[in-house]
Chain A
Amino acid sequence: MTPQFQYGVSLYSYTGEYGVTSTLDDCIEDVADLGATGLEILGEAHVAGYPTPSAAWIDAWFARLERYGLTPTCYGSWVDTRRFLGRAMTVDEAVWQLETDIRLAATLGFRYVRPKLGVVTSDLEPDPVWEPATERVLDLAAEKGVVICPEIHWPSVIRSKVVDDYIAFIERTGTQHFGLLMDTGVFQTKMHHRTGGVASRLGEGSARPPEVPVVPVSDLEDVLDHVVHVQAKFYEIDDELIDHYIPWAELLQIIVRRGWSGYLSSEYEGDYGIGRAADQLRRQHALIRRLAATL
């Protein structure tokens, strides 16, 4: 079968290098150079003057896309529900944040907006503000031609209340402007512990992230019709072009057989180190292209 999916890269991959060893232009040139056509960014990271970039910045953005032959795919945003200390975020505040990012994403030519939602439970149930706030911005998303797609991200699993609630929302509202973003880290077969970078820890106490069962790749079949974008999360491709964490062959078999035509947007989240992202992204694209040629 001829694969229908397309190749992209998220600039998240260059974390620790963007602004340190690489400019935005360096990162975007690298994405084009490795053969991807889709460009994913994080609004709050990569847009100078966020949330109101200058006209000159926007002009330079489109000039770059033209120069490197890249198509904007997904724009990552956040709804920081804990933004105001000691109180929850109101629906109006969440609507403001979503509208701000939908407008900016549309201005920059993006088709997908991924709001990273604040959570209220250990298993990452989103703050209940998400539903009324998202419902209020659906008309704007339609007007701007944007699909809102919260991500299913480790340690979430596909068979969960979180995913059921998103699908129920799509069915209840009948919207064409809400879907799922699947992060392939969900399917990791073992944990990767990132090294390098500035040392950090989660919390003052002894709480640790939950143990999560391995999610069978076949679970993707159940939700793929709702998946509008894939963050092709990966941690390490070895010197034999083997990924010991993410089962790409199984994933690609489903994606290709189902004729899924969105972007696999690479998201490197492995060890920090100067030049590592550029090398690892190329390894992953080589791995996926080799596998795709055999399907």
Chain B
Amino acid sequence: MLEVPMIQTRGFRNREPGEGFEVRLRLPYYRGLWTNLIEGAAITVDSETFAADGIGWSIDGVEYSLAQLRSSETARWPVDVPAILRVPRSEPLPIGFHDVRADLRLRMSYIPEELQPTIWSEQRRLVITR
């Protein structure tokens, strides 16, 4: 089972030295999506913002760049499978508390274009342990 917030406690961790960190997002929508409809997710940690274009995704064990998500003919983001976002950063995040914010943009076809994309924003205080 997942946590109610979009930003998940589990999965927030530093990667190998020089590779940045990971954070998991639950799809805060009511159905799974063709990944073409993902416009991207910007991540902010302690007021340091990482643009959506540079963030790698992993869904159900398959890795994608944002461009690959947008162009895939078959990739899906199921509603009950969290996406792992891989955020590049030269230094690891220090052990301890971090204010993590995610701004996720998804494109809905059935909402008038002037009201799109739909943007989910959330901030949580998470702990990184290593």
Contacts and interface: CB of A to CB of B under 8 A. Distances in A.
A48 B80 CA distance: 9
A116 interface: yes
Contacts, number: 111
B36 A78 contact: no
A174 interface: no
Interface string B24-50: 001010111110110000000000000
B96 interface: no
Nearest to A49: B78
Contacts of B28: 197-198, 200
Nearest to B28: A198
A271 interface: no
B18 to A, nearest CB: 32
Interface string B47-80: 0000000000000000000000010000010111
Contact of A44 (B32, B116, B118): B32
Interface stretch (A29-37, A180-188, A203-211, A252-260): A203-211
B80 A18 contact: yes
A83 B32 CA distance: 13
A23 B79 CA distance: 12
Give the dominant DSSP class at B's interface: loop
A205 B114 contact: yes
B119 A204 contact: yes
Given A20-B1, A119-B110, A122-B114, A85 B36 contact: yes
Interface residues of A, number: 44
Give the dominant DSSP class at A's interface: loop
B20 interface: no
Nearest to B112: A122
Interface in A88-109: none
Contacts of B70: 85
B92 interface: no
Interface in B78-120: 78-80, 107-120
B109 A78 contact: yes
A203 B115 contact: yes
B19 interface: no
B74 to A, nearest CB: 10
Interface of B: 1-6, 26, 28, 30-34, 36-37, 70, 76, 78-80, 107-122
Interface of A: 12, 15-16, 18-21, 23, 42, 44-45, 48, 50, 76, 78-85, 116-122, 124, 127, 197-205, 207-209, 274
13 contacts: A19-B79, A21-B4, A76-B31, A78-B110, A85-B107, A117-B110, A119-B112, A120-B113, A121-B112, A127-B109, A197-B28, A198-B120, A204-B117
